[in-house]
Chain A
Amino acid sequence: MHFWTKLNHKAIYLVVLLTLKLPLSYAQSQSAIQPATEQARGISYIWWSMFWVAVVVFVAVMLLLAWGLWRGKSKKPTQLSYLASRNLVIVAGIAVPLVTVICLVGGSLMLGRSLSASPPDNALEVRITGWMWWWQIEYLDENSNTIATTANELHVPINRPIQVYLESGDVIHSFWVPQLHGKTDLIPGRTNSSWFEVDVSGTFRGQCAEFCGLQHALMGFLVVSEPQAEFDAWLANQQVPAQPPENNEVLAGQRVFFEAGCHQCHTIRGTDAAGTAGPDLTHLASRQSIASVTRKNSRAHLGGWVADPNGIKPGAKMPMSQLDAKELSDLLDYLQSLH
């Protein structure tokens, strides 16, 4: 009896949630109907309009169908006359859908036009390059020179248009942060662009939305929006090279970094590490998560990731490292010093 009551409660909970179309919001949200920008809000508004129209149409069609069937069950069933049938088809099958569709297309095209227009001149420009399976983020100055490079975590100031230039280093990916905007693909050989302006501070999760191979499912990224002053401080920090090691463990860790070959794929500005196959690690410790938002950026997770990337993301291109406990510990000290 107790089991069935619990099951009932769970069922009711799910049914209510599903019918109310609420995102299951106790978790990290990636919901298109919890917009944080004007762009996403416009899309969400169009969604809800279409949703209610669809509900009305569906209910109307089902009611008509039910009514027609019910008429067949009466004592003297009368079929529709030719004229009534013809009018039903013309009105319900042509006129009403035509009007509805024109409104939908018109509204969508108006919104689409504004979404695809160029952003205002004061937009912050960022180049995002998609790789299998992480995101390279480069902040650009007015002359399109790169002033800071990071990976998987995009910081933006609020109330400022952000223009992202989207390119791919290998296969097609898709840049999608549902709370901020619709998705735009990253296609090799082209530079696509998209722009949005965040109204509130917060952390918004995004994920690759075009099948790109083994670890497509875990190719996430974060967009962190913050007030202009905090953003400026963050960007300034990202621009400076890494601090030299402060103590012996960190220095030992830096040595491990080079001896294990990490510098062949990763860049740490301020050192000789200049590899470009993997994410820039200069300010790794300033990021909230690792492995393209698959794990929190904690010592334990970082250790697990470095020791065996395939344990977390099978097929990831980062090889296993052959470090003993002391070497791993020193390396983690070093990595965690990269604020």
Chain B
Amino acid sequence: MKNHPHTEQAIFDDQEGAEPILDKTWLSPPGFFGWFTHVNQRQIGFRFVVTSLIFFALGGLLALLMRLQLVQPENTLMGAEFYHQIMTMHGTTMMFFFAVPAMEGLGIYLVPLMLGTRDMSFPRLNAFGYYVYLIAGITLYLALFLGMAPDTGWFSYVPLAGIDYSPGQGVSFWTTMITFIEISALTAAVELIVTILKQRAPGMTLNRMPIFVWSILVMSFMIVFAMPTVMVGSVLLALDRTFATQFFVASGGGDPLLWQHLFWFFGHPEVYIIVVPALGIVSTVISTFCQREVFGYTAVVLSMVTIGFVSFGLWVHHMFTTGLPHLGLSFFTAASAMIAIPSGVQIFCWIATLWGSKIKFKTPMLFIMGFFAVFVIGGLTGVMAASIPFDMQAHDSYFVVAHLHYVLIGGAVLPFFAGLYYWYPKMTGSMLSERLGCWSFWLIFIGLNLTFFPMHQLGLDGMPRRVYTYLHNMGWGEVNFFVTCAAFLMAFGFLLTFINTLISPYKSRAAGNNPWNADTLEWWAQSPPRNYNFRHLPVISSRTPLWQKAPLYKVTGIRADRREIIITTLLDAKPQGVCIMPSPTYWPFVLALTVGFGFLGFMFKPILFVVGFFLSFFAIVGWLWPARPWLAEKPPEEGHPVRGLQ
């Protein structure tokens, strides 16, 4: 707001000597208090990624605790109550606080760079979304440490989660925090959509857009349609619990199945929200390491879009045992099996790309190879679970636990870690250690297979899910013991990557702009990118801008002394105008606090929600208060090419 370097004469970024001014214009203020004012997409994206990895570690520790309890029959390491709390927190953490924010974070960091622009469409909203995420996560973990965590599972079925059977604060924490964090997901999604559709570099038509950006676009649209459903569901549950409405109470005319419909209408797309960007990462890494474009760009993009649509028609496959009529259920069998086809198309496009290419098997590529094996297994067991008769045995058993971990770890975590090793040089300027990366990958890969493959067996042997213990004479003890040991092996593998990310800046050589010789625009910027991302905004004329022989054209007429980016048309990316972006401000943080106050307060006294509402109103007023220092400027001189392409 206040740090536009005020000059009598406008300075444009294509002028000589404009760089220091450009740098200062896009500076994020240093220091502790400055941290709360940042709005640059790289800072916010980096925070999303780092915070999500911290939650991944916390969720992983919870999983290890669960495995320690299950290591032997009738173990007394912890009681049922505590186990149910950490089981709920494990699922909630991984699904809400790790997987989606991690993908969003990568998107927020990389998409503007890949599109050749300098910030997201709504930088302050971006920052607000991050603070909401952070507050939601801290609050939920505070609840865990206070022994008040939710304990009805991450899916929180009613009537168990209703006020009659869960009168404590735990489920209230859950409903409140879920509604709250979905605000964060929605803001990120909305911004990503607008950035992708309106801020692409001139000449970057939709079919020249990187596949990763397509995957983020599909993910964002899915978030916009799926997240509101779970927000509605959790609001209705909160109303049932607080004001004795009867939405989900059978005796009051409601229906417990309504909750399941609302939750899974969100819950199924949710897992594809997590997987689709990961598939985008796979395309990116394969393309770079084969040094060729992915075969079948159109097929790959259309497959991702198809997955996005079809995934909204699968949700009842989580409800096959609820006694709904078989004819109705059968549509969901068909859809659930059908979604294997676009996934299969991508797998074979990738194999066609890899075929006969000279590939260096650096760590990102190792994780991609792991993805192939694990995701295919997970996908196959998923198609099995689409069969209603088989699902009647497998549902709510360890078979499904095996399936879901295969698809989520194989289909999301492994590609995410590939992305981590791939983009870490861009984000920090240093390469991650190959040796540690190789060890980490193999321990994770072997550990995860040894941990989750036997769970298929346990499920077929009749072991249900969500059990804090099991009896001696069931014969499940040995396999559970084995699984627990393997889980620690896998955890150690993840630990090696964590260590790698912490020590590499001190140990390795500088990465340079484009250590992998990749073709997407983020590698045009420095490592890490300067405040302003690119010295000049580029003009694009091919799908692989960095592999073309001619140097990139650049946009002229963008101001260096205020935050400006170029807006282009939706389909063909023809220049349309210039947008002035906001500078660092603390209002997003303030608004996140007031909204958080309203939601958290609601759990203790409903009136506090209204108080929070009004406080948020004032915060929004502060946010939107006009500040246009350029109105005092003189118009630019005659003859200067104001808006143009050189």
Contact = CB atoms under 8 A, between A and B. Distances in A.
A323 B635 CA distance: 95
A172 B473 contact: no
Nearest to B162: A171
Given A32-B393, A80-B355, A217-B467, A46 B387 contact: yes
A28 B473 CA distance: 6
A183 B384 CA distance: 16
B292 interface: yes
B256 to A, nearest CB: 6
Interface stretch (A135-143, A205-213, A260-268, A279-287): A205-213
B351 A68 contact: yes
Interface in A80-103: 80, 84-86, 88-89, 92-94, 97-98, 101
A88 B463 CA distance: 40
Contacts of B549: none
Contacts of B372: 61-62, 65
Given A24-B461, A185-B322, A80 B393 contact: no
Given A85-B352, A183-B392, A104 B256 contact: no
B80 A315 contact: yes
B383 A104 contact: yes
Contacts, number: 280
Given A32-B462, A211-B153, A215-B80, A27 B474 contact: yes
A24 B476 contact: yes
Contacts of A32: 393-394, 459-462
Interface stretch (B210-218, B340-348, B422-430, B590-598): B340-348
Contact of B356 (A62, A77, A208, A217): A77
B194 interface: no
Nearest to B255: A189
Interface of B is mostly: helix
A18 B453 contact: yes
Contact of B354 (A42, A69, A107, A217): A69
A214 B478 contact: no
A249 to B, nearest CB: 32
**Most chain-A Cβ atoms within 10 A of its Cβ — which of B345, B354, B460, B470?**
B460
A217 B80 contact: yes
Interface in A100-131: 101, 104-105, 107-109, 111-113, 115-116
A132 B325 CA distance: 27
Contacts of A27: 473-475
B469 interface: yes
Given A28-B475, A42-B389, A101-B383, A176 B323 contact: no
B187 to A, nearest CB: 32
B61 interface: no
Contact of B337 (A101, A176, A181, A220): A101
A105 B153 contact: no
A202 interface: no
Interface residues of A, number: 94
Contact of A183 (B299, B321, B337, B359): B321
B352 A211 contact: no
A227 interface: no
B159 A170 contact: yes
B357 interface: yes
Nearest to A173: B160
**Most chain-A Cβ atoms within 10 A of its Cβ — which of B347, B354, B388?**
B388
Interface in B334-379: 334, 337-338, 340-341, 344-349, 351-352, 354-359, 372-373, 376-377
A299 interface: no
Contacts of B478: 14, 24
A159 interface: no
Given A58-B376, A174-B321, A93 B387 contact: no
**Most chain-A Cβ atoms within 10 A of its Cβ — which of B322, B329, B389?**
B389
Given A69-B359, A88-B351, A101-B337, A184 B323 contact: yes
Interface in A182-201: 182-185, 187-190, 192-193
A45 to B, nearest CB: 10
20 contacts: A24-B475, A31-B461, A47-B390, A50-B390, A54-B383, A54-B384, A62-B373, A64-B351, A80-B356, A93-B347, A182-B393, A183-B321, A207-B462, A208-B464, A209-B395, A211-B466, A214-B81, A214-B84, A217-B470, A294-B471
Interface of B: 79-81, 84, 152-153, 157, 159-160, 165, 250-251, 255-257, 292, 295-296, 299, 321-323, 325-326, 329-330, 333-334, 337-338, 340-341, 344-349, 351-352, 354-359, 372-373, 376-377, 380-381, 383-384, 386-397, 453-454, 457, 459-471, 473-476, 478-479, 482
